[in-house]
A and B are shown apart, each in its own frame.
Chain A
Amino acid sequence: MSRLNRVGELDDATAAGRARDGDLDAYEVLVARWTAPAHRFAVLLGAGVDADDVVQEAFVKAYRQLGRYRGESGFRPWLFSTVANETRNLHRSRKRRDGLALRAAAREEAEPLSPDPADLTLAVERRRQLVDQVRLLDFREREVLVCRYFLDLSEAETAEALDIPKGTVKSRTSRALARLRDRLGEVAGA
């Protein structure tokens, strides 16, 4: 995807402005720039193998709604809100969510500064537990954790991306963390 990440020198606001006036080349700059992050977001939300379709649909819809784009908070949360919406639609239509996958390397790769093999095993095991428990969360709770901690969005950006009030981001996040912690405790204690 290096090519996708490199094309275009227009900044997002300029590109979006031109695209709004019908300049498809300018829009393509945005598509190229944001395909990879949007795809990662969709997969983290559980879109699985349909993530590419979700991203494509999101870009098409985002373009048609450019008239409403004001650009205050950037193109990313704005695009991501469309991606989140499309992923929710996907869940509704297929009643299935794809989980998260750990890189295969996670199971073999030695971690630096891990003197004891038991520590390493624990780290790998812990990652597996975390992934398992995140995927078992309710979709709405998983969404906020994905935005806040996997994608490092601020509360405001998360609110815009998920189209929920900021207070809801806050409460849902702490509820999700509490649930995750409980379940991890059960797993560890089992």
Chain B
Amino acid sequence: MPEDDALIAELRALEPWLDTGEPADRRAAVRARLVARPARIRHRKRWIAAAVAALAGAVIAVSPARAAVVDAVDGVLRIVGIEVRAGGPGELPPRPDPLPSRGPVTLAQARAAAQFPVVVPAALGVPDRVELADPDAGGAPRVVTMTFRGGAVRFDQFDGSVSPAFLKSSGEARWTEVGGSTAIWLPGPHAVTYVDRAGQERTATGRLAAPTLIWSTGTVTYRLEGIATLAGATAVAGDLK
């Protein structure tokens, strides 16, 4: 009927005006439910077992001397400056406590301010945004964060001589290699906590991190987040300019 057509056209035109709000990220919650009672019993061997009751309560600071130690025995994977603890991604805190950032700067400003060589993954092109975080008394940042591809990919690099800086709680993690150095691949979402210079823990973002590759050159540690596959992330990590 023609009057139906007119009404249908109105309904279609109405659709963009309907406000349905922002959906919550329930990946972690869904996964937790599925792990608790899988549809099929096909457990892949995992290096983790224990569930972490509360993220903030579960992380333990590691002394710098131990930070580079590879230790899967107690369910903790470490790379200079980053510690990955066993357990599910856990609940996000009600109030995210962001990284103490000083706001966006140019790449040149970041290179001038940081006391470590600031690099850019060649494959990702020019960063959308560069941020400095956690400056020391002289203003030198401990962390330089870049985002690419409209924010979908995030690249952190930081002074790894102060450890730990990032604590992660993940249901799944595995060792891999980047340029001959040990690296950690976290394929699933995980909570990230940043420990600032004063030792205060900050659950760095109000979200769960996407797949992340972590590696280090010994003094500088890198984390690359948002590349979906290990092969893709390793390729990006292999070419820093």
Contacts and interface: CB of A to CB of B under 8 A. Distances in A.
Interface of A: 1-4, 6-9, 20-22, 24-25, 27-29, 31-32, 35-36, 38-40, 43-44, 51-52, 55-56, 59-60, 63-64, 66-67, 100-104, 106, 126-127, 130-131, 134, 145, 149-150, 152, 174, 177, 180-181, 184
Contacts of B187: 25
Interface in B195-235: 207, 210-211, 226, 228-229
A49 to B, nearest CB: 9
12 contacts: A1-B22, A3-B152, A7-B226, A9-B229, A25-B187, A28-B189, A38-B23, A40-B20, A43-B21, A59-B30, A103-B17, A150-B14
B23 A1 contact: yes
B4 A24 contact: no
B39 interface: yes
Interface string B143-166: 000000111100000000000000
B151 A102 contact: no
B39 A126 contact: no
B207 A3 contact: yes
A32 B228 CA distance: 12
A177 B4 contact: yes
Interface string B4-22: 1001101110110111111
A82 B152 CA distance: 29
A159 B188 CA distance: 34
Contact of B210 (A7, A100, A149): A7
Contact of B11 (A21, A40, A51, A145): A145
B108 interface: no
Contacts of B35: 24
B26 A59 contact: yes
A102 B17 contact: yes
Contacts, number: 135
A78 B18 CA distance: 24
A47 to B, nearest CB: 10
Contacts of A131: 14, 18
A71 to B, nearest CB: 16
Contacts of A43: 20-21
Nearest to B20: A43
B33 interface: yes
B204 to A, nearest CB: 15
Interface of B: 3-4, 7-8, 10-12, 14-15, 17-27, 29-31, 33-35, 38-40, 42-44, 149-152, 172, 187-189, 207, 210-211, 226, 228-229
B210 A66 contact: no
A174 B7 CA distance: 11
A22 B38 contact: yes
A2 B10 contact: no
B39 A67 contact: yes
A2 B18 contact: no
Contacts of B29: 56
Contact of A127 (B14, B23, B150, B152): B14
Contact of A103 (B10, B19, B229): B19
A43 B20 CA distance: 6
B30 A150 contact: no
Contacts of A7: 152, 210-211, 226, 228
